[in-house]
A and B are shown apart, each in its own frame.
Chain A
Amino acid sequence: MKEANLIKRALAGEEEALAILLQDNYLMTLGYFTKVTQDPELAKDLTQETMVRAIKNLRRFRGDSKFSSWLISIGSNLYRDELRKRRSVENKEIFVSKSALGTDQMGTMKVDIKRALLRLSAEKRMTLALKHFYDYSYAEIAQILKIPIGTVRSRLHSAMSQLREELQESAYP
């Protein structure tokens, strides 16, 4: 069934249409959170909470973007809130010392990229994920994360710069 039709029906109050929409977008949302958090359990929790928030705020969906983009937007806000709550734990987990990174062969690159990604701030990670994995435009990312386009550009540039530096260190110690 076409998404536009489902959205129309869901906005008209048809629960079945909303359930189908949520089901259709579940794995995509879960994938986004898994890429951003690298924590499957947290990703599942965030996805479920995103779905609940989407149900509660469906009236606010204006239909000027894809339903999946709207879900990601809700989810990103949720993740920000979640990070604020668990900031202390996050600090311990994410800001691992630089020496903890692999330092030699290209074989460690895969592990390094995961760690390097986790070293980025959540805002940069979300921006990078939306651009690299979903290929959203700057304007779309700005709309999803509710930030100016200039900020998207600078975050992306900064994230890539940071990743490049860390990986360069790993590849060319």
Chain B
Amino acid sequence: MMDKYQGEKKKREAPVAKVTIGFLQEGTDQESGQPKRRRAQATLSLLAESLDEFGVEIDRTLAKMEAPSLSYFRELIQKAKPQIKRRKAIETLSFLVMALSYLFLIGYSIDAGYLLPVVIFFSVAWMFLPIVLLFSGDFRKERGSEE
């Protein structure tokens, strides 16, 4: 299990140094006479070391532990089943209610003589839908990961 976990760790390329590079661009500490840059570097490597040690310590503790048996997880699944069914039923019902309400509203509006506003509404939606999709969360996420 720990091997799997270790394997999940991609190549380590001193992330600490990457994110803290700005700290190294400092001047000289007049009081102590010791260059701040050297102090910052020393602290940085100590910080990376300490974090690594802390991580290794926890991993070592975890290596001694075992994941619960499959029956434990089966039991969790069985316990969660009724809730999943209930949630599914509520979701399906909500969807049906929403869909029917929407259709009823459109039908009622047309019946009441609001054909033109309904047509305008759908035309606007038809025109702007591509733009909405273009700036949807997924699209922004993709763009973000490309940066």
Contact = CB atoms under 8 A, between A and B. Distances in A.
- Asked if A and B bind, the verdict is yes
Interface of A: 15-16, 18-20, 22-24, 26-28, 30-31, 34-35, 48, 51-52, 55-56, 66, 68, 106, 109-110, 112-114, 117, 131-135, 139, 142-143, 148-149, 153, 156-157, 160-161, 163-164, 167-168, 171-172
Contacts of A135: 9-12, 15
A139 B144 contact: yes
A52 B74 CA distance: 11
Contacts of A24: 1, 4, 67
Nearest to A150: B144
Given A23-B70, A132-B16, A31 B62 contact: yes
B15 A132 contact: yes
Contact of B53 (A110, A142, A156): A110
B42 A171 contact: yes
B76 A51 contact: yes
Contacts of B50: 109-110, 112-113, 167
B54 A15 contact: no
Interface stretch (B80-88, B93-101, B119-127): B80-88
B: contact size bracket: 35 or more
A73 to B, nearest CB: 13
The 6 closest A-B pairs by CB, nearest first: A139-B145, A113-B50, A19-B73, A26-B67, A55-B80, A168-B43
B47 A56 contact: no
Contact of B144 (A19, A20, A112, A142): A142
Contacts of A52: 76, 79-80
B84 A167 contact: no
Given A23-B70, A31-B59, 5 more contacts: A35-B55, A51-B76, A68-B8, A113-B54, A157-B19
Contacts of B4: 24, 28
B8 A134 contact: yes
Given A135-B15, A171-B42, A56 B83 contact: yes
B20 A34 contact: no
B80 A28 contact: no
A47 to B, nearest CB: 10
A27 B65 contact: yes
B111 interface: no
